């Protein structure tokens, strides 16, 4: 990405982010919006985050193969189970990182 394209993306990203945050603060009549649009908004975070986690875990597996990248898959599963039971964000991240380090040292001592 060229510096020009990067800064264009930063300014554009600022505008669209500010637009979503300011949307209902400056919109006079919210009741005229389509109901389907409003109902769909709540599914955007799980859809996008699910897609991101999947591609970020699948990418190294596709690139370097299961034999090298399996600790990432295993660590993300450990973190998912812990996170699901505790809902502790930093515990989830911390346990996932520690699991990856331990499993990587086991995989390639």
User: According to CB under 8 A, which one of 29, 32, 34, 46 is a site residue for other proteins?
Assistant: 46
As given in the structure block, the two tokens for residue 51 are 């897609």
Does 66 bind other proteins (CB under 8 A)? Our answer is no
CB of 1 to other proteins, least distance (A): 5
Residue identified by tokens 């399996």 is 70
As given in the structure block, the two tokens for residue 104 are 């990587």
Q: Please name which of 88, 57, 85 lies closest in space to residue 71, comparing C-alpha atoms.
A: 57
Q: ∠31-33-37 over CA atoms, to 5°?
A: 125
User: According to CB under 8 A, which one of 34, 42, 102, 107 is a site residue for other proteins?
Assistant: 42
Q: Give contact residues for other proteins (rule: CB under 8 A).
A: 1, 3, 5-14, 16-27, 30, 36, 38-58, 62, 72, 75-76, 79-80, 83-84, 87, 89-90, 92-93, 96-97, 100-101, 104
């Amino acid at each position: 990405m060229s510096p020009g394209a990067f800064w264009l993306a930063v300014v554009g990203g600022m505008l669209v982010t500010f637009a979503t945050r300011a949307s209902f603060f400056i919109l006079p009549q919210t009741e005229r919006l389509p109901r389907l649009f409003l109902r769909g908004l709540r599914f955007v975070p799980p859809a996008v985050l699910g897609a991101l986690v999947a591609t970020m875990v699948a990418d190294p597996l596709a690139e370097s193969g299961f034999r090298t990248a399996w600790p990432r898959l295993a660590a993300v599963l450990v973190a998912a189970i812990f996170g699901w039971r505790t809902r502790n964000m930093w515990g989830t991240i911390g346990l996932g990182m520690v699991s990856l380090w331990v499993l990587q040292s086991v995989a390639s001592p």
